[in-house]
Every structure is written in C-alpha cells, then in structure tokens.
Amino acid sequence: MAKVEKKAAWYDRIAWGIAIPVAILAVISLYAIWVAAANDSSVGSPVKMVASQAIWYVISVVLIIFVMQFDADQLYRVAPIVYGVGIVLLIAVLFLYNRETFQSTGAKSWFKLGPLTFQPSEIMKPAFILMLARVVEKHNALYSHTIKNDWILLAKIAAWLLPVAVLLKLQNDFGTMLVFFAIVVGVILVSGISWKIIVPVAIVAAAIGATAILLVTTDWGQVVLGNFGFKAYQFQRINSWLRPYADTSSGAYQLWQSMKAIGSGQLFGAGFGKVSVYVPVRTSDMIFSVIAESFGFVGSCALILIYFYLIYKMVDITFETRNAFYSYISTGIIMMLLFHIFENIGMGIDVLPLTGIPLPFVSQGGSALLSNMVGVGLILSMKWHHRDYMFSTAGDF
C-alpha cells in the first residue's frame, strides 16, 4: 500500500464556513441600504446606492480571489511593500484630501476621485496587519522569550505603529486610530510576550484610559484637550453619547433617532422593508438601526450570531493551519472586525460614543468593504494553501 498525492478540488480548498456568512452579510447589506435610502431622500436614489454597493462587492470578490493566490512566504515578502504604499497614501491624503468631507467632518482622511471617495486608512489596516505579523514572526524566530527580548519586540511594534498613529492624528481620524490600537493589542496577546510585561503595561494603559475618560467627560478636561489639538466635533460626539436627550435637535439628533428606531423594533420588528423612524444618513454608521427596526431584537441577535460564527470559523482555520505567521495575521483581522462590530452596534444603542466606525460587510461604503474583504481573502488563503494536497490510500503499482 502506498500513499498517492491527489490534488484537492478547488471547492474543497475554500473555507465555506467563512465565505457563506460573508455572502449572507452581503445580502443583508443590500437590503438594509435599500430600506435606508428609500426612507431618506437626502442620500440619493435607492437603486443607485444598492447598485453601487453591489459593484463594490463584485470588485471585492475579485480582490479576494487575487489575495488568495498568495501563500505565507509571498505574503511575508510583500508585507513591507504594502505597508510602504499605505504610508505614502496616508501622507498624500493630508495634501489631496476631499475639501467637502473636511468641511462636514473635520477629517482630512478622504480622497475624491471624480464621483468616488476613497479612504486610504482602510487599505492601511490589512497592510499594517501583514507588517505587524512579519515583525512578530521574525522576532520570535530569532530570539527566545526573555524579559529583555520581549521589551525589544514591544519597541519594534511601537516603532511600526507610530507613523500610522501620527498620520491618523494629523488627519483628525481618531476612530480609525482606535482600530489600529485594537489590532496591536490582539497581536501582542498572542505574540508570546511575558505576562510580567503585559500586566504592568495594561495597568498603565488602564490608568491613561481612565484619565482620558475623565478629561473628555468634563468641561475643564475638554478645555485642556482642546489646547492639544482636539476638535469641537469630537467633544460634541462625547457629549451626545453622555447626554443624548439633552439636545435632540442638533448634535445628538442622529443618535437619538437611531435609539428610537432600534427601540421601536421591539421583539420581532415592524416587518420586512418596514421602517417608520427617520434616521439621517442611515446607510453607513447607523445601518444597524435598519435591521433592529425591521426585525427587532430577534433579528438583531441573528445578525450578531452570524458575526459570531464568522469569527469562530476564522479562529478554527487559524488553529488548523498551525502557522505562526498566519496566526498573527488572523488575530489582527479578527481584532479589526470585532472592534468594528462592537463599536458600531455599541454607538447605535448609546453604549459607546460615536466614532464613525462602519458595520463590517453591511454598512454602505467601498473603502471599508475592500479592507474587510482583503482580510477575508487573507484568511481564506490559509486553507487554500494549507490543503494543497489531499492524500488517499491506493494499491501498489
């Protein structure tokens, strides 16, 4: 008896446990955007918005297929290149930013290419994850885990994060900066760094976080932060979060209406395609309110369970491949998605402050969708290349 190599069929090399939930989320996205646009004349034609999102999904699928062709060695080699391209784009947008978006949001984070707008920080997310995975994998391959070496690894991670954080600060895009911090925290936790370092660093970070919360939630604190470059619209979002009922006609209007819409859905919702509460610009940041109003608490939980299953399958494939470099990549992607999910839903129900973070695979927008789908493509590539060959037992020739 001898083992004979047999090429696995292409459909056996696809992680359907990831592909199918993403496809379901795509359908939910098109539905939610249609309903939101149909009930808000200010955002444009529902047909046009749904068609635009569908086109972005088609482009994203093509991009996934392209990304899946790269194995671990190739991804390791291209990581510095894509990181460098991302940094160049983050610098360029500081000079070539969309003036209209800047006037309305105060952020210099969008390019405008004809009728399209593009946010380079979204492309930087998977690029940064690749570079971070390379840095950690290379360090761990060369050095053992001692206190000294772990501090060196932390310094390397900080060095690669610093340019991104500075450029995002210059763009006034604090929400996106938080996503990068979440990615770094996740990768650090699985990097093998000693808990003798992680625990004290976490205590210091918690103290800084508590101080920051004190500053942003008090009038005197906001004055202090204002002297360090924080903008009035950022404080307005914090005030809206803390007191959404204080002034529902201006800064807190969108949040207040979102909370009303979510609450009106009750247990089972108003029904398919039915919404009655007006929420301005609902297609992006407040897209969750469409699901909650249409399908209620049950439908909202179903959406969260789809996300939970998607994350679970991503973790499952990571364990299956048993590749350190891949594990750091998948950790970064999972942390990116988890932060987006919790922040978007949390801000819609006033548990977390407004940050302009979209709901993955559901919110309208091409830049964020491309970023998330590249992440999906990176994880799909794990199984695509890990199962290049399946083995069967055959008789002696």
Question: Residue 15 domain-assigned?
Answer: no
Question: Residue 369 domain-assigned?
Answer: yes
Mean pLDDT of 202-207: 89
Greater confidence (37 vs 244) lies with 37
Give 30's pLDDT tier (boundaries 50, 70, 90).
very high
Question: Residue 6 domain-assigned?
Answer: no
For 187, phi then psi, to 5°, come to -65, -40
Torsion from C-alpha of 54, 60, 65, 71, nearest 10 degrees: -160
Mean pLDDT of 95-103: 79
Greater confidence (42 vs 110) lies with 110
Domain that holds residue 342: 34-193+250-394
Q: Provide the domain count of the chain.
A: 1
Tell me what pLDDT residue 68 has.
92
Three-class DSSP category at 182: helix
Distance CA 279, CA 390 (A): 52
Question: Residue 51 domain-assigned?
Answer: yes
Distance CA 155, CA 63 (A): 33
As a whole number of Å, the CA-based R_g of the chain is 22
Residue 394: pLDDT above 50?
no
Question: With contact defined as beta carbons under 8 Å apart, do 3 and 396 qualify?
Answer: no
pLDDT digits (tens, 9 = 90+) for 355-389: 778 999 999 988 899 999 999 999 999 888 875 43
Mean pLDDT of 118-142: 94
Percentage of the chain modeled with pLDDT above 70: 89
Question: Residue 102 domain-assigned?
Answer: yes
Greater confidence (209 vs 90) lies with 90
For 105, phi then psi, to 5°, come to -115, -20
Question: Residue 278 domain-assigned?
Answer: yes
Question: Residue 145 domain-assigned?
Answer: yes
Question: Residue 351 domain-assigned?
Answer: yes
Q: What 8-state DSSP symbol labels residue 359?
A: P
Mean pLDDT of 204-228: 78
pLDDT digits (tens, 9 = 90+) for 328-349: 999 999 999 999 999 999 988 8
pLDDT digits (tens, 9 = 90+) for 281-323: 888 888 999 999 999 999 999 999 999 999 999 999 888 888 8
Residue 119: pLDDT above 50?
yes
Structure tokens at 293: 């109003």
Structure tokens at 262: 């979510």
